[in-house]
Amino acid sequence: MNGPGAGFGLKCPKCNITIDVIATVGSDPQRCPNCGCNMVPNTQAKISAKVTCKRCNSSFGLINSDKCPICGEFFE
């Protein structure tokens, strides 16, 4: 269900904070801004990128949700 996604949806395994969107710099591992350890993909992240709502036709480049904020339709 969750495909690989670089640059967003990261979680720190140590202090458990999550980052929805992070700027990627080369191939460096993303580090936690709090404790500095390597972030891991957050499998619980509800992030949708480049989606268009099939109900109300609104488009979003990156949204911190798995459903349309306008009409509430879930993205596929």
Residues in Cβ contact with 36 at an 8 Å cutoff, skipping those fewer than 6 apart = none
Judged by CB under 5 A, does residue 39 bind Zn ion?
A: no
Binding mask 40-59 for Zn ion (x = CB under 5 A): -------------x-xx---
Q: Residue 29 CB: number of other CB atoms within 10 A?
A: 9
Q: How far apart are CB 31 and Zn ion at their closest, in Å?
A: 8
| Binding of Zn ion by 38 (CB under 5 A) | no
Which of 6, 21, 35, 62 is in the footprint of Zn ion by CB under 5 A?
35
Which class for 53: exposed (0-12), middle (13-18), buried (19 or more C-beta within 10 A)?
A: buried
